[in-house]
A and B are shown apart, each in its own frame.
Chain A
Amino acid sequence: MRIILYLLQKEFLQIFRNKTMLPMIFALPVVQLIILVNAATVDMKNIRVTVVDHDHSVQSQRLIQDLDASLFFEVGDLQVSKEKGLDLMRRNKTDVLVYIPNDFSKKLHTSDAAPLQIINDAIDVQRAQLSYGYLSEIIQKLSVEWHTNPSLLLEQQQIKIHSNYWFNPELNYKYYMLPGILVILVTIIGLFLSAINLVREKEIGTAEQINVTPVKKYQFIIGKLMPFMIIGLVELAIGLLIGRVLYGVPFNGNPLVLFSFATLYLLVILGLGLVLSSRSETQQQVMFLTFFFMIIFILMSGVFTPTENMPEWALKIDTINPLYYFVKVIRSVVLKGAGFSDLWPEFRSMGIYAMVSVSLAILSYRKTT
């Protein structure tokens, strides 16, 4: 026990003396949470619409007004031909092209259907889908209003959809993003710091010097795990505090639930970091390896894209992605107020994962070659 305490003291002494690492440890959460939370938004605003109006009727004017009034759209120059409009899209000057043919208002009055053409720049698929969604909504509303057949109108209005968004009623994107970014933050701290730290000892030869001392394997591993565990949990607390102060993210759950899960999660991540470092000889190698895992874990975690959209096989792979669980848990606890009983399956998986990861770390660290 005394040896472990001394190893910890040594570790912290080194961390607090590291003039490059220390500022990073504390600058990282602040920068990430201030910049990333604001920048990594999928909220659609200012979609550029070009309307090619060949009809010049009251109805077409009304459609343009409604588009312009919407927060999502920004209607550009109206005096353009269809060719000019297409050219604008090619040169990336507009996102959507709405073509109103000259018989639009006439058909509205006479026939069942009045065709409109919408041309969407689908380079950015997500943006195209969303703008299509918003556009159809506006057009749908208008068409109901204009519908010449009052009986049909009545029939349609019999089904009344009233949506409620639970747990994030204002659909505040930051509430959703902040916990996700926090997961990435804790992961970077845990994985990179632990992996680099052990390889550094190998590189400068101190690992070998420790090997000829009576320090036991498990003591050495605990000495390496604990400091980064503590730093990781402190970062999480700082991050939640920043979220509360800057973005007003509510904390609906029990902090104990979140921090117990974070402890398990950090055990997994730190263990993985140590395993990776025992497979590497230099800091360069371990950085590359860690980066490889980080990218896959983050992109498949559900921080940026919903995991529900992933194909079946990818979801299966995700069951070994620790980030996937943590992202789910942190959002459930922070936004939904989920407790131990709600998150039991995640706790169980992460617990098993932690045991495997730490055992592997102890096994892969060799005292003799």
Chain B
Amino acid sequence: MISIKNISKSFEDIQAVKDVSIQIEEGELFGLLGPDGAGKSTLLRMVNSLMIPDEGTIRLWDLDPVKDYKKVRYIIGYMPGKFSLYTDLTIEENLEFFATVFGTTVEENYYLIKDIYQQIEPFKNRRAGKLSGGMKQKLALSCALIHKPKLLVLDEPTTGVDAVSRAEFWEMLQSLKEKGITIIVSTPYMDEAQLCDRVALMQGGEIHACDKPAHIVQQFQYPIRGVKTSNIYKALLDLRTYKSTHNVYPFGEFLHWVSKEQLFNDEEVIIFLKDRGHLNVQVRDIDPDIEDCFIELTQFNEKINA
């Protein structure tokens, strides 16, 4: 079990992580969601012993990453956001190198990486620098797993990876979870939240919510509609002046309009927009998703404590 208690970390004048507390259960696939600069990487680097927190404590089972960093390094597999293996060594050499520095062999833990490694094994004599993005990612994951870690820490593993590879990667994580490995993964992609057991929404160094994705969505308390007209930008400006608007923001080809009144008539919104010269006005029912929750939580800064 991983417990993070009241962790803070500052860099000169920026407070990157503010009083963060999270509990992660053994065997969980835990997502850390947030935009760039939210403090996700800093938090992960404190968990994996690369950084010392200014305040607070972290426990990985019974180990403290500050005091027991030597032991922590044996139980953690870390995959940084940037590909950071030896580009001038081959796939096989990289894997063997990391196995050896952990005092193990590729054969010993091969069963753990088999599914992933088999996909890149035909190219095992190719230099890591000459691999495609998806292959690099598989190699990095294999190297992070080769010493059979209890905890896998992945920092934005899917950033800059195509949609198919992203889906594949999440399947790999699911199967690793089934093998009993606890996984913490950070991502800026809100749509990946559904794939996690639990997620923490992070923004400005703070955790705004931490729960199962479905629970977070359930707690979205306002009615929400998708709105589209012939002039989306003008509609955005007009809706901001509408009396029952709680929030409105662009979302794909629609605007998401959040009402502060629980009971209202869609017709009133349509009339309001038509009065302001909008043509082809569409208002339709939608379900809030995790991104709507994220916007709500970060803009209105209401803490939901799970």
Chain A interfacial positions (CB closer than 8 Å to B): 2-3, 6-7, 10, 13-14, 17-18, 204-206, 208-215, 367-369
Q: Return chain B residues, CB-CB under 8 Å to A18.
A: 88
Q: Return chain A residues, CB-CB under 8 Å to B69.
A: 367-368
* A14 in contact with B89 given A205-B80, A212-B78, A214-B73 (CB within 8 Å): yes
**Contact among B50, B52, B103 for A211, CB-based, below 8 A:** B50
* A214 in contact with B97 given A205-B80, A209-B85, A369-B51 (CB within 8 Å): no
The minimal Cβ–Cβ distance linking B196 to chain A, given in whole angstroms, is 23
B254 within 8 A of A: no
Check A208 against B89 for contact (C-beta < 8 Å).
no
Check B84 against A368 for contact (C-beta < 8 Å).
no
B131-152: which residues lie under 8 A (CB-CB) from chain A?
Answer: 143
Q: C-beta contact mask, B85-120 vs A, less than 8 Å → 1, else 0?
A: 111110001000110111100000000000000000
Q: Return chain B residues, CB-CB under 8 Å to A6.
A: 97, 100-101
Q: Return chain B residues, CB-CB under 8 Å to A3.
A: 100-101, 103
Q: C-beta contact mask, B11-48 vs A, less than 8 Å → 1, else 0?
A: 00000000000000000000000000000000001001
Q: C-beta contact mask, B49-81 vs A, less than 8 Å → 1, else 0?
A: 111100000000000000001100110101010
B83 within 8 A of A: yes
Distance of A205 Cα from B82 Cα, bound (Å)? 7
B141-168: which residues lie under 8 A (CB-CB) from chain A?
Answer: 143
Check B101 against A210 for contact (C-beta < 8 Å).
yes
**Contact among B49, B74, B84 for A206, CB-based, below 8 A:** B84
Interface SS of A by simple majority: helix
Q: Return chain B residues, CB-CB under 8 Å to A17.
A: 88
Check B80 against A209 for contact (C-beta < 8 Å).
yes
Check B73 against A212 for contact (C-beta < 8 Å).
yes
Distance of A219 Cα from B100 Cα, bound (Å)? 13
The minimal Cβ–Cβ distance linking A97 to chain B, given in whole angstroms, is 62
Check B48 against A204 for contact (C-beta < 8 Å).
no
Distance of A98 Cα from B118 Cα, bound (Å)? 87
Check B85 against A206 for contact (C-beta < 8 Å).
yes
**Contact among A2, A7, A10, A210 for B89, CB-based, below 8 A:** A10
B256-284: which residues lie under 8 A (CB-CB) from chain A?
Answer: none
Distance of A10 Cα from B88 Cα, bound (Å)? 10
A-B contact pairs, 21 of them (CB 8 A): A3-B101, A6-B100, A10-B89, A10-B93, A13-B89, A14-B88, A204-B84, A205-B80, A208-B80, A209-B84, A211-B50, A212-B50, A212-B73, A213-B73, A213-B102, A214-B73, A214-B103, A368-B51, A368-B52, A369-B45, A369-B51
Chain B interfacial positions (CB closer than 8 Å to A): 45, 48-52, 69-70, 73-74, 76, 78, 80, 82-89, 93, 97-98, 100-103, 143
The minimal Cβ–Cβ distance linking A15 to chain B, given in whole angstroms, is 9
Check A205 against B51 for contact (C-beta < 8 Å).
no
The minimal Cβ–Cβ distance linking A216 to chain B, given in whole angstroms, is 8
Distance of A204 Cα from B82 Cα, bound (Å)? 8
What 3 A-B pairs come out closest when comparing CB atoms? A205-B84, A212-B78, A6-B100
**Contact among A205, A212, A215 for B49, CB-based, below 8 A:** A212
Distance of A141 Cα from B251 Cα, bound (Å)? 101
**Contact among B78, B85, B87, B101 for A214, CB-based, below 8 A:** B101
* A206 in contact with B101 given A212-B50, A212-B78, A214-B73 (CB within 8 Å): no
Check A213 against B98 for contact (C-beta < 8 Å).
yes
* A212 in contact with B86 given A10-B97, A368-B50, A369-B51 (CB within 8 Å): no
Nearest opposing residue in chain A for B79, CB measure: A209
Q: Return chain A residues, CB-CB under 8 Å to B78.
A: 209, 212
Q: Return chain A residues, CB-CB under 8 Å to B85.
A: 206, 209
The minimal Cβ–Cβ distance linking B124 to chain A, given in whole angstroms, is 15
Q: Return chain A residues, CB-CB under 8 Å to B98.
A: 209, 213
Q: Return chain A residues, CB-CB under 8 Å to B84.
A: 204-206, 208-209
Distance of A213 Cα from B70 Cα, bound (Å)? 9
Nearest opposing residue in chain B for A18, CB measure: B88
Distance of A205 Cα from B70 Cα, bound (Å)? 20
Nearest opposing residue in chain B for A212, CB measure: B78
Q: Return chain A residues, CB-CB under 8 Å to B50.
A: 208, 211-212, 368-369
The minimal Cβ–Cβ distance linking A219 to chain B, given in whole angstroms, is 9
Q: Return chain B residues, CB-CB under 8 Å to A205.
A: 80, 82-84
Distance of A208 Cα from B80 Cα, bound (Å)? 8
Check B102 against A214 for contact (C-beta < 8 Å).
yes
The minimal Cβ–Cβ distance linking A192 to chain B, given in whole angstroms, is 18
**Contact among A14, A208, A212, A215 for B76, CB-based, below 8 A:** A212
Nearest opposing residue in chain A for B98, CB measure: A213
The minimal Cβ–Cβ distance linking A3 to chain B, given in whole angstroms, is 6
Q: Return chain B residues, CB-CB under 8 Å to A204.
A: 84, 86-87
Q: Return chain A residues, CB-CB under 8 Å to B49.
A: 212, 368
Q: Return chain B residues, CB-CB under 8 Å to A10.
A: 86, 89, 93, 97
The minimal Cβ–Cβ distance linking A282 to chain B, given in whole angstroms, is 15
The minimal Cβ–Cβ distance linking A124 to chain B, given in whole angstroms, is 47
Nearest opposing residue in chain B for A19, CB measure: B88
Distance of A243 Cα from B284 Cα, bound (Å)? 87
Q: A205-B80, A209-B98 are in contact. List 8 more A-B contacts (CB 8 A).
A: A6-B100, A204-B84, A209-B85, A213-B102, A368-B52, A368-B69, A369-B50, A369-B51
Distance of A209 Cα from B140 Cα, bound (Å)? 10
